[in-house]
Structure 1
Amino acid sequence: MMRSKTLSAVGYAAIGAIVATVAWNGASALDAATASKTDTYRQLNLFGDVFDRVRSDYVEAPNEEELIDSAINGMLASLDPHSSYMNAERFREMQVQTRGEFGGLGIEVTMENGLVKVVYPIEDTPASRAGVKPNDLIIGIDGTDVQGLTLNEAVDMMRGPVNTTIKLQIQRQGADKPLELQLKRDVIRIRAVRSEIEDDVGYIRVTSFNEQTQEGLENAVRDIKAKLGSKAKGYILDLRNNPGGLLDGAISVSDSLLDRGEIVSTRGRNADETQRYNAQPGDLFDGKPVVILVNGGSASASEIVAGALQDHKRATIIGTKSFGKGSVQTIIPMGSYGALRLTTARYFTPSGRSIQAQGIDPDIKVDQAIPAEEADKVPSTTRGEASLRGHLTNENGTEEATGSPAYVPKDKAKDTQLQYALNFLRGGAVSEATKTAKPNTPQVKAN
């Protein structure tokens, strides 16, 4: 008994020591956390002091709103290249882009020599109905000279409430004097999807992933089926130079080609933040072979689609290595002040690959030559994610990769990647340069 009591006493003493140690460590951790919070408040006070000094003593009266914007963006820029602050104006513009529709005229424009140049008027819009033509120069908007405006300023002037009128002054090549056109704004949908028939192959070009992309894809496939019927050899989904967009858009497009299985997973800082997105039954493409074209300009949502269909062997990826943006940004509204774009997660393909700073490697690599006359205008290699300062590292420890070319010829006959894809779907011979590649075999749906 005495021995037993002695052992018990020793046991309690040991437990007491452990409890005391835990209590001591807990107190130390609490003190450290308190000290860290105190330091943070001191730093915030320092920021306030600096701001007050600049506001009161700078040689010229500063724009205080711009000072705050710059300070916030400076903080976010220290995190990664894709986290940023959008003031109210930039937030509204971002919402327009993701919605894919707005009140406007329906013109795709660029800036040339200080004037707004029409790239082309979108079909069945106020611009096309009024007779606006490609290469027209817009020199005046409602009596205001365009010379001296930025492209964004000119675009903002042309957009506005539906059914309101606007006057454009246009300089057309060959015309003796400028044309005066009066247009009425209408609801304009950004065409994220364009399609056409290449003999016996359906060609679908997706330029961005916004709220209109899925509907555009369904309409494109429906139109191709109506024209080709059972004669279709397959489909080409062209994601070259598609910078991405909405995660939901990428998931819905991937789901259109998959009957089952995971599409993508996102993983945040904490394990309980992991989300997995799975395909629902149904294949919009009826199991037909699919080729996806990618290049150095294919990023983010484009890489989600390419990675999912590559892992499930539902499509063959042709082209060059994609950009390598494997992070997810959450838009956090900040009331009337705008919104925060914050990187909150990494995404992973169904097989668990992280594409961050690595990109999608095509099943068949096909380079696109840059003509000599374009060589001084087009970079031979785009800057991939791995070349961006402060980018997130690849969580899988995969060696980071540089970008690849992003040149796409306007002339389809000179588009080597497109021509290869067409030949591939038609069962043509593989060239000497790529015959050693082992492409994924397109999966045929069995009912």
Structure 2
Amino acid sequence: MKNRITVLLLGACLSAGAAFAQPISPEAKERVLEAIGKQIKSHAYVKGVDFSRWDSLVEKHKEAFEGASTQDQFAAAVNGAFAEFGFSHLNLQTPRAAEIRTTGRTVGIGVTIEVRPDGLLVTRVIEGGPAQKAGIKVGDLLFEADGKPIRGVEDVRGEEGTKVKIRVRRGEEALDFEVVRAQFSVVQKDELKWIDDKTALIRVNSFATGYDPKAIDELFDEARKAERLIVDLRFNGGGAVPNLSHLAGKVLPPYTPLGKFITRADANKFKEANPDKPDDPALVAKEYGWTIGARAQRDGKRFDGDVVVLVSPSSASASEIFAAAVKEHKRGKVVGTKTAGAVLASTFVRLPEGFSLQLPLMEFVTFGGLRLEGAGVQPDEPLKPAEVGDDDLAVRAAMKAFGVALPSAA
């Protein structure tokens, strides 16, 4: 089971394959809902959650399920029902979304977004993608497509080569852009930048698809020339445990404990041995659980200088574990905003009709005994949300944490 465990929080990627707005039949929806019920009742585990509630939630959201005519609408309705459980890592993916997750490629306008009541907020623009070429920027709110209000991602999806006129709100301005939908990679290349002659910044975009240990090794070979290192995880939504352990080993001694994963079986054992105590993961972790740690480096080398980790509300799951470990082991400082608070171990299960279910299997407790799910990591040096998304301001804050003031921009 361990090699199948992933620590993930999937951001919404605004994209569309050639076959967009795929219809779904009532029979198909019924098969998917039945499979979901079996999986979460038999295998899902989150502290204090009664998964038998799913039957009542299905009844409560029956109208939304029945009203969904496409795969995307159905997945959105199901995920709306999941949201009532109140935790992360329980998510239904359409066949298209599952393909994007595994291949890293899709067709669309090339942004990641957060759905807002008045449109779609751009949280990242894919480098070299259609939106970037058109001039759309992070922070823009997409609110009209071809003259119609945008209410969801389907309103801007379309086939490769087709055009869409998008109106965005940027501050107090309303701007118009024409975007040609195209194929692009959702995998972002990790990179190193020199801030000054003694400070390097390494941006790690994901611990999932696209994380390349060899490429990270090369970046750290270069970074070891520096005295100070900024690890930028502001847009990193998580990924696989082995990749987290690999990066942790770049700044922490070999086998440094990052924390423990707690299974349903661990909680049951604890409860049997301690019937008068609550099965809180922090208590269970003192006696049971699967410890994960920093991986030893093959060449025995790691970065020994000062470290700052940049985080934001988009820093989730494995990113939060990394930041917490740096903080708890007093290896460096965390700068930014409170992280997402989405830290559960999960796996993906195939469902009928090509759908995929992200299923939470384990709780996580840090080395210092903190349950990060729902809480997140508090930064040592806090920034406002508007500041943490600005590269220049974020870097200046990181340098300030080192005790270094950058010269003012001309």
Partner Cα separation in structure 2 for residue 256 and residue 406 of structure 1: 30
Instruction: Specify the SS of the correspondent of 1:203.
Output: strand
2-structure distance, mates of 1:348, 1:119: 30
Q: Provide the C-alpha distance between the structure 1 equivalents of 2:365 and 2:83, rounded to a whole number of angstroms.
A: 24
State the TM-score, normalizing by the size of structure 2: 0.57
Once the two structures are superposed, the pairs formed by residues 5-20 of structure 1 within 5 Å of their partners are none
Unaligned regions of 5+ residues in structure 1, if any? Answer: 1-42, 56-60, 138-143, 160-165, 173-177, 371-404, 430-447
CA contact (8 A) 1:205 1:239 kept: yes
Once residues 123 and 55 of structure 2 are traced to their aligned partners in structure 1, the CA distance between those partners, rounded to angstroms, is 51
Task: Tell me, yes or no, if structure 1 residue 314 matches structure 2 residue 319.
Answer: no
**Following the alignment from structure 1 to structure 2, what is the Cα–Cα distance between the partners of residues 105 and 153?**
11
Partner in structure 2 of residue 80 of structure 1: 86
Measured against aligned partners, the alpha-carbon deviations of 1:107-136 in whole angstroms (never above 9, x if no partner) come to 43779998999985624x7x59xx934249
Contact map agreement 2:317 2:341 (CA 8 A) in 1: yes
Alpha-carbon displacement from aligned partner over 1:284-308 (angstroms, at most 9, x marks no partner):
6432322112345533222111122
Say whether the 8 Å CA contact 1:235–1:289 is kept in structure 2.
Answer: yes
2:261 and 2:364 in contact (8 A); partners too: yes
Instruction: Tell me the distance in 2 between the aligned counterparts of 1:74 and 1:180.
Output: 30
- Tell me the residue number matched to 2:381: 366
Equivalent pair of 2:150/2:156 in contact (CA under 8 Å):
no
d(CA) in 1 for partners of 2:396, 2:189: 22
Counterpart contact for 2:250–2:303, Cα < 8 Å: no
Correspondence for 2:46: none
Q: C-alpha distance in 1, partners of 2:347/2:360? A: 6
Q: Distance in 2 between matches of 1:324 and 1:114?
A: 24
Aligned partner of 2:127 in structure 1 is 122
Percent identity at matched positions?
Answer: 20
Matched, 1:355 2:381: no
Distance 1:367 1:331, change over 3 A: same
Greater gyration radius: 1
Higher RCO (CA-CA < 8 Å; seq separation 6+): 2
* Cα deviation, residue 75, structure 1: 6.7
Q: Say which SS state the counterpart of residue 132 (structure 1) adopts.
A: helix
Distance of 2:397 and 2:56 partners within structure 1: 60
Higher relative strand content: 2
> Are the equivalent residues in 2 in contact too, given 1:73–1:85 (CA < 8 A)?
yes
Instruction: Determine the structure 2 residue equivalent to 1:374.
Output: none
Residues 214, 253 of structure 1: 8 Å contact kept: no
Q: Distance in 2 between matches of 1:356 and 1:115?
A: 26
What is the match of residue 24 of structure 1? none
Paired position in structure 2 for 1:210: 208
| Deviation at residue 73 of structure 1 after TM alignment | 5.6
Unaligned ranges ≥5, structure 2? 1-52, 168-176, 270-287, 406-410
Provide the C-alpha distance between the structure 1 equivalents of 2:289 and 2:348, rounded to a whole number of angstroms: 18
Give the Cα separation in 2 of the matches to 1:189 and 1:420.
28
**What are the Cα deviations for residues 339-362 of structure 1, in whole angstroms up to 9, with x where unaligned?**
333332111223433223333244
- The one-letter amino acid paired with 1:196 is K
In angstroms, what is the RMSD of aligned CA positions? Answer: 5.1
Q: Map residues 44-443 of structure 1 onto 2, 5 A cutoff.
A: 76-82=82-88, 84=90, 86=92, 89=94, 91-96=95-100, 98-99=101-102, 101-104=104-107, 107-108=110-111, 122-123=127-128, 132-135=133-136, 147=148, 152-153=153-154, 156-158=157-159, 166-168=161-163, 185=183, 188-191=185-188, 193-200=190-197, 201-215=199-213, 218=216, 221=219, 225=222, 230=225, 232-240=226-234, 242-261=236-255, 262-271=257-266, 274-282=289-297, 285-336=302-353, 338-362=355-379, 365-368=380-383, 405=385, 407-408=387-388, 410=390, 412=392, 415=393, 418-425=395-402, 428=404
Cα distance in structure 1, aligned partners of 2:88 and 2:155? 27
Query: Partners in 2 of 1:303 and 1:73 — Cα distance?
Result: 23
For 1:198 and 1:293, locate their aligned partners in 2 and report how far apart those are by CA, in whole Å: 14
- With normalisation by structure 1, the TM-score equals 0.53
Do 1:251 and 1:264's aligned partners in 2 also have CA atoms closer than 8 Å? no
Deviation for aligned residue 1:276: 2.4
Distance 1:82 1:284, change over 3 A: same
